[in-house]
């Protein structure tokens, strides 16, 4: 296994500014959402829960963020409702399909 | 330096892309059959696509010194109608012996539906019957974790395919261990917005090691980057990884897996 060749100081020197900018993007996105009108949908709640994982003092945050957005059911669904994915699993009860988010594009943004 | 991009959809890319990939050191690619962005209206549409993959695209690649190979199947996004899908599957054996055809792929799941799973199982059986390598697409975003588990179960249920001859693609932090721990190969796809970034792929390599793991661009008609593999090589280099580690993940590992087909040629 090739462990990370960098020490903590080098990780900061190489990545700090880039990820400081990404953190500001996250903050600005949440501000933008709050300023907008309308009701939104379940994705913002899943997002807010996932953001909490970032400040936990525990390893594998990326894996746990992925799991926060994931469908944890086990059985195949009866029929495919469309082709796209929206990036977060709706709560089992409330459902609620995002209005225009699920596209016939292959993953909402990219393809395969 | 030379590299292999083992998953890229060149029928959707330009000659400029071939040119830039060749300049960056790409010597060989493999192109799985996939969804074109629209549903084909007949099985004949797939027949024509398979000819494009096996006859036309290898010539286009060769003009840039890149060896082109492909995988054939009906993709999961067009597998919701089993009768239609079975007509397509019947066309595949005719192409399997052609030069450059490495196996069956990219089969898999998209929305994790019952019909998708049925057609996945039938194409796993097709691969087993013809002793083909298998390249598997795992679903997007929120569907990936569940789909990866269903896919692994389906391959194990078939029981006749050596996991060392199956590559399960588009793994991320929450699925890579599931795939590797069962003896399968795992592919990390480098995408601008979804799947892995070059940085996160390098992180996964540091956490999981280089055994049975490769990187690819999955460049296609959507927002994607045909130079993603050399960009990940650069990310690893700037962290201080050795040339040996970088070559293992982007050249020697694809070579090792794909050579099991007996038809792979990296030049
Ligand atoms: Zn693909």
Q: Report yes or no on B225 lying in a domain.
A: yes
Separation CA A40–CA B117 (nearest Å): 33
pTM: 0.94
Q: Report yes or no on B267 lying in a domain.
A: no
Q: Report yes or no on B78 lying in a domain.
A: yes
User: Is residue B174 less than 8 Å (CB to CB) from chain A?
Assistant: yes
User: Is residue B35 less than 8 Å (CB to CB) from chain A?
Assistant: yes
Separation CA B67–CA B22 (nearest Å): 11
CATH number at residue B203: 3.20.20.140
Name the least confident of A29-33, B81-85, B181-185, B193-197.
B193-197
| Distance from the alpha carbon of residue A27 to the mean position of ligand 1, in angstroms | 33
What pairs with residue B187 in β-bridges?
Answer: B214
The whole domain housing B96 covers: 3-261
- pLDDT, tens digit (0-9, with 9 covering 90-100), for A37-89: 999 999 999 999 999 999 999 999 999 999 999 999 999 999 999 999 999 99
* pLDDT for B70: 98
Q: What contacts B80, CB < 8 A, 6 or more positions away?
A: A79, A80, B113, B115, B116
Q: Which ipTM score applies to this complex?
A: 0.95
- pLDDT, tens digit (0-9, with 9 covering 90-100), for B191-226: 988 899 999 999 999 999 999 999 999 999 999 999
Q: Report yes or no on B110 lying in a domain.
A: yes
- pLDDT, tens digit (0-9, with 9 covering 90-100), for B80-135: 999 999 999 999 999 999 999 999 999 999 999 999 999 999 999 999 999 999 99
With a cut of 90, say whether residue A100 has pLDDT above it: no
Return the structure tokens found at B27. Answer: 């010597």
Separation CA B196–CA B190 (nearest Å): 5
Whether residue A79 and residue B203 make contact (CB cut-off 8 A), yes or no, is: no
Mean of pLDDT over chain B:
97
Strand (E) positions, B80-184?
101-108, 133-137, 166-168
- pLDDT, tens digit (0-9, with 9 covering 90-100), for B248-261: 999 999 999 999 99
- Look at chain B and report how many structural domains it folds into: 1
Q: Report yes or no on B117 lying in a domain.
A: yes
| Distance from the alpha carbon of residue B56 to the mean position of ligand 1, in angstroms | 19
Contacts of A85 in chain B (CB under 8 A): 111, 139-143
Q: Report yes or no on B220 lying in a domain.
A: yes
Q: Report yes or no on B252 lying in a domain.
A: yes
Mean pLDDT computed over B221-245: 97
């Amino acid at each position: 296994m090739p462990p990370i060749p960098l020490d903590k100081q080098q990780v900061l020197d190489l990545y700090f500014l880039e990820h400081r900018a990404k953190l500001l993007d996250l903050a600005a996105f949440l501000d933008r959402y709050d300023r907008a009108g309308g009701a939104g949908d379940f994705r913002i709640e899943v997002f807010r829960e996932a953001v909490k994982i970032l400040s936990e003092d525990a390893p594998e945050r990326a894996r746990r963020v992925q799991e926060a957005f994931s469908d944890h059911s086990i059985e195949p669904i009866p029929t495919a409702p469309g082709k796209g994915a929206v990036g977060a699993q709706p709560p089992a009860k409330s459902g609620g399909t995002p209005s225009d988010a699920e596209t016939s594009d292959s993953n909402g943004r990219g393809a395969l | 330096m030379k590299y292999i991009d083992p998953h890229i959809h060149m029928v959707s890319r330009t000659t400029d892309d071939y040119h830039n990939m060749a300049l960056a050191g790409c010597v060989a690619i493999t192109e799985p059959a996939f969804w074109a962005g629209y549903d084909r209206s007949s099985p004949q549409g797939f027949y024509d696509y398979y000819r494009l993959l096996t006859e036309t695209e290898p010539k286009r690649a060769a003009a840039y010194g890149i060896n082109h190979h492909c995988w054939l199947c009906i993709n999961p996004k067009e597998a919701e109608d089993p009768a239609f899908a079975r007509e397509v599957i019947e066309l595949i054996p005719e192409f399997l012996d052609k030069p450059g055809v490495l196996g069956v792929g990219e089969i898999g799941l998209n929305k994790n539906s019952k019909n998708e799973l049925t057609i996945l199982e039938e194409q796993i059986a097709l691969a087993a019957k013809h002793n083909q390598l298998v390249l598997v697409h795992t679903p997007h975003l929120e569907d990936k974790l569940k789909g990866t588990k269903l896919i692994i179960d389906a391959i194990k249920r078939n029981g006749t395919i050596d996991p060392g001859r199956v590559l399960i693609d588009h793994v991320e932090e929450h699925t890579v261990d599931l795939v590797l721990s069962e003896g399968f190969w795992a592919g990390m796809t480098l995408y601008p917005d979804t799947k892995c970034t070059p940085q996160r792929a390098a992180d996964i390599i540091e956490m999981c090691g280089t055994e049975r793991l490769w990187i690819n661009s999955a460049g296609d008609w959507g927002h994607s980057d045909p130079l993603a593999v050399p960009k990940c090589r650069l990310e690893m280099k700037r962290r201080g990884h050795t040339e040996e580690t970088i070559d293992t993940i982007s050249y020697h590992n694809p070579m090792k897996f794909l050579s099991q087909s007996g038809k792979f040629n990296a030049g």
